[in-house]
């Protein structure tokens, strides 16, 4: 059983990684803790749902549309709100993004009501058996796509000009400016990419779980747990952290009941922040900004 749980946990962790990597990227570059990140996932899920309901689009086809839409939404949010709070006091950053998060989730609530919405595909419940372990097809697909996207992101950061600019800005904002990097553009790109990653995760989640307006809060907290566990601003940390949290979630859901599973990662979150605030891979002091 434990093996089964571990493998499903890792598959789930793959999706969490996409959400968390976006969050950590945004933090690394802009030093902003983005409280709207979960709502971006929520928006992505609703978009996927709309495309499915309205046009009968299979979620995996939406994979080509939703992330693009989220990218644009990310650009918009960055220009309208986030850009204005970079470098300002904590309370401004916290409450501007919290306020925005309230706007997004409640706009959706006002429009769609609070009902659960889900996408029922023919393959939603398909499973395959590998040795003693049963695995859901959508889970495997989701993990595969997450892995590919993560690899692409990694190559993008390593080899493209924009990617290098993003990494340089993460290292040191001031010297990046001195090197002639347009920091504002880097911010916009980073926020948009982070949003698009949330969009991809949303599409991958949709065949698996229903969505509702306040689901963003759950994903936000998961992403934070992951990021804090892995070390703020560290992408490898976010990957490892996501897999750990995925496993924690499946294992605790099985042994403690699904009502308590969230409690498990909140406890982990609090413990990590107390005992090793720099996370597994992060730099010391990042948590103090």
Minimum CB separation of residue 172 from another protein in Å reads: 14
Of the residues 114, 131, 132, 180, which one makes contact with another protein according to CB under 8 A: 114
Q: Is 98 an interacting residue with respect to another protein (CB under 8 A)?
A: yes
Q: Tell me, by CB under 8 A, how many residues bind another protein.
A: 45
Q: Is 174 an interacting residue with respect to another protein (CB under 8 A)?
A: no
Q: Helix 183-205 to helix 137-159 angle, to the nearest 10 degrees?
A: 170
In 3D space, the residue among 238, 241, 239, 232 whose CA is nearest the CA of residue 29 turns out to be 232
In 3D space, the residue among 185, 261, 225, 181 whose CA is nearest the CA of residue 8 turns out to be 261
d(CA 25, CA 166): 9
Tell me the per-residue interface mask from 32 to 51 with another protein, x by CB under 8 A, - otherwise.
-x------------------
d(CA 168, CA 175): 8
Q: Is 100 an interacting residue with respect to another protein (CB under 8 A)?
A: yes
Exposure class string for 177-215: b at 16+ Cβ within 10 A, else e: eeeebebeebbbbbbbbbbbbbbbbbbbbbbbeebbbbb
* Window contacting another protein (CB under 8 A); options: 105-113, 139-147, 177-185, 238-246: 105-113
Interacting residues with another protein (CB under 8 A) = 33, 81, 84-85, 90-96, 98-107, 109-110, 113-114, 213, 217, 221, 224, 228, 257, 259-260, 262-263, 266-267, 269-270, 273-274, 277, 287-289
């Amino acid at each position: 059983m434990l093996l089964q749980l571990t493998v499903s946990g890792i598959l789930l962790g793959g999706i969490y990684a996409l959400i968390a990597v976006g969050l950590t990227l945004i933090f690394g570059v802009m030093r902003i803790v983005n409280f709207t990140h979960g709502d971006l996932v929520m928006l992505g899920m609703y978009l996927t749902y709309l495309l499915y309901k309205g046009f009968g689009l299979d979620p995996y086809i939406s994979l080509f549309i939703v992330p693009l839409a989220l990218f644009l939404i990310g650009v918009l949010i960055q220009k309208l709100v986030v850009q204005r709070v970079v470098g300002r006091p904590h309370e401004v950053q916290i409450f501007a993004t919290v306020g925005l998060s309230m706007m997004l989730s409640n706009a959706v609530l006002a429009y769609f009501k609070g009902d659960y919405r889900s996408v029922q595909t023919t393959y939603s419940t398909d499973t395959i058996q590998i040795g003693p372990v049963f695995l859901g097809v959508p889970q495997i697909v989701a993990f595969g796509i997450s892995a590919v996207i993560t690899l692409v992101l990694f190559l993008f950061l390593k080899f493209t000009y924009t990617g290098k600019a993003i990494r340089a800005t993460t290292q040191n904002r001031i010297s990046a400016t001195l090197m002639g990097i347009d920091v504002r553009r880097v911010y916009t790109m980073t926020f948009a990419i982070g949003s698009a990653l949330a969009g991809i995760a949303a599409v991958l989640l949709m065949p698996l779980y229903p969505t509702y307006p306040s689901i963003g809060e759950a994903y936000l907290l998961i992403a934070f747990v992951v990021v804090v566990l892995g070390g703020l601003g560290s992408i490898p940390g976010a990957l490892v952290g996501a897999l750990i949290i995925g496993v924690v979630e499946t294992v605790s859901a099985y042994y403690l009941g699904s009502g308590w599973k969230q409690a498990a990662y909140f406890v982990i979150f609090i413990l990590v922040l107390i005992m090793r605030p720099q996370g597994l891979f992060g730099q010391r002091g990042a948590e103090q900004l």
